[in-house]
Structure 1
Amino acid sequence: MTEQQVLRQSIAMVFVVAAAGIGFGLASGSASIVFDGIYSLTDAVMTSVALLVSSLITQSLSERRQARLVQHFTMGFWHLEPIVLGLNGMLLTGAAIYALVMAVGSLMSGGRELDFGRAIIYALIVVAVAVTMAWRNHRANKTIGSNFVALDVKGWTMSAALTGALLAAFVFGWAIQGTALDHWPPYIDPAILAAVCLVMIPLPIPVIRQAFADILLITPADMKAHVDDVARRARDRHGFLDHRAYVARVGRGRQIELYFIVPAGQPPRALEEWDAIRDEIGDELGGESADRWLTIAFTTDPEWAD
């Protein structure tokens, strides 16, 4: 199964869950279920954008290089991936913050009445769907290795945890009706919504942090150390004076530019020899794939490398 197939199926199921959440939430009077539906809808829209970006990246690396859109993005579409991931994380965090404010307001105003029967039915269905999708997509991503699918798995996992908490709260509210705790049920829905939001607000932060690191082209320390180690060995082996390494990770893409300072006045070499050195360095760097952008240049003038 490909990345695009997993994301398409996930999008379709998320839209179904979102529609069910909004419908059940309005019917039962539960703001937490409505939030669950809106949260799922936001996730579905962003997953759709992720699918588009994934398709663009795949297209740019295929034989369809003459497509008009690809000609306008000759450096590829890798930079779109962290933008989408970061925007997705910020939207989900923003939605949770807004829901938290609404939940606190509802608690302060006396809570709200809730049809626990409909709410429990909804929660049972969504927990089953979310757990199934998270397990299925996680298995598929062991082969695919996609950041987008990994984020989608995290979204389904979060949805299962969220709805599981709602289910427990709804069952508790239903159970205490007609007892000495009968005055508590109106507060259960906003209280569980507030608790869930407090848990969910920080969850996308690691994704947002990594996305901004990619957008800002912050050099990964481990990746830079590996490139410098390979370059130093090549420099010593071929008698070069020095090297400059420029490294960045942009989404799934790895961009590496290596410049070697060659002593002036050396006898000329055939281009095939320089290409052989490039192949040798590329092999030592490892990880050769369509997602690696590798440039290796040789010059006697350090200004060309700085």
Structure 2
Amino acid sequence: MSNRGEQALLKQSTILMFAVAIAAIVTGFFSGSQSILFDGFFSLIATVIKVLMLITAKLIAKESNQRFQFGFWHLEPMVLLIEGSFLLLIAIYAFLSGMFGIINGGREVELGLVIPFATVLSVVCFAYFFYVRYRNRRLKSSLIQFDNISWLVDAMLSVGLLVSFLIALLLKTQGYGQWAAYVDPSILILLALSMLPPAFKILGPALRDVLGIVPDQLNDKVRGVMDEAKARHGFDDYISYVQKHGRARFIEIHIVLPAGYPLHSVATLDELREEISTALGQADAARWLTISFTGDRKWIA
């Protein structure tokens, strides 16, 4: 994966999202639409998160140092956890705001301003979402993958806004103007509910990484490889530990060799390491693999 390409795309995404946020806030203020304002503030917070992601991508590209000897991989799930938490809080706020709007009799909105805005915003957000998804097929960046969720959410918000304003316009033209005032707070509630799945989609993996929960898929793969190696080479036993922080995978394997195991030189152990490493998949900068050998079981207890 090209970290430089990742940073360039994150920077582009940040600038465009900031422009969308300012446009939405200004339009929401002059039109009187709280749902447009909500979209704007969501985009503004998304911009801040994107800045954090960009900083994280730059730190990950740096060499490890004395203070952070395993690099900066741990920052990636922390940023994603912040993003997911903000999405959840915004959804709760939007839901409550919509409920109070309905209780207070709805809101009048300047439809002649918000309908063209929602149309343009829908096109821009969906177009950029598909563009980023296409670019990330080559980059394979988890940061960009989760960052792109904000564009999908914004696109969904924009389409929801457009549909709601068209419904309000239809109600007004059909003589049901009193009901049109309830469209804005009603769509705010629906948008809040639609944001919950993306928020939990980000929070789930990020929380697992931050808490250090064992990644089942990686753990099963390591155990499968080692079970085969144990049977093939006659190892007495082994123990393995796996951990995941963002895209970084930490794998530690300790192998117990039987008494009298034929060791001609250290190169024999290196050959075993190479065989296990190859079986685990292609090595990259995000994989930390440690394989040790012992003849005493107490060292793996």
The TM-score with structure 2 as length reference comes to 0.94
Does residue 88 of structure 2 align to residue 85 of structure 1?
no
Q: Which amino acid aligns with 1:245?
A: S
> How big is the shift at 1:163?
0.6
Letter in 2 for 1:5: A
Q: How does 1:183-262 map to 2 (within 5 A)?
A: 183-262=178-257
- The offset of 1:266, in angstroms, is 5.0
Q: Which residue of 48, 67, 71 maps to 1:72?
A: 67
**Partner deviation per Cα, 1:1-48 (whole Å, 9 max, x = no partner):** 811111110000000000111111001001000100011111111111
From 28, 50, 53, the counterpart of 1:50: 53
Offset from partner CA, 1:209-267 (integer Å, 9 cap, x none): 11111122222223222211211222233332100011122211111100001234656
More displaced, 266-275 or 214-223? 266-275
The equivalences for 1:1-306 within 5 A come to 2-60=5-63, 70-264=65-259, 266=261, 269-306=264-301
CA 1:267–1:173 in structure 2 vs 1: closer, same or farther (change >3 Å)? Answer: closer
SS of 1:258's equivalent in the other structure is strand
Query: Counterpart amino acid of 1:115?
Result: E
Runs of 4+ in 1 over 6 A off after TM superposition: none
Opposite residue 133 of structure 2, the aligned amino acid is H
Give the letter aligned to residue 49 of structure 1.
Answer: L
Gap regions ≥5 residues in structure 1 = none
Could you report, residue by residue, the CA deviation over 1:61-117 in whole angstroms, capped at 9, with x for unpaired residues?
Answer: xxxx5xxxx331111222111111111011111111011101111110111111111
How far apart in 2 are the matches of 1:172 and 1:268? Answer: 78
Separation (CA, whole Å) in 2 of partners of 1:224 and 1:113:
56
User: What secondary structure is seen at the aligned counterpart in 1 of 2:62?
Assistant: helix
Is the CA contact 1:93–1:202 (under 8 Å) kept in the aligned structure 2?
A: no
Maintained 8 Å contact 2:111/2:169: yes
CA shift digits 1:123-167 (9 cap, x unpaired): 112112101110110110110111111122222111111111101
* TM-score normalized with structure 1 length: 0.92
Residues of 2 paired with 1:264 and 1:38: CA distance?
67
Mark the runs of 5 or more structure 2 residues left unpaired by the alignment: none
Q: What letter is aligned with 1:288?
A: A
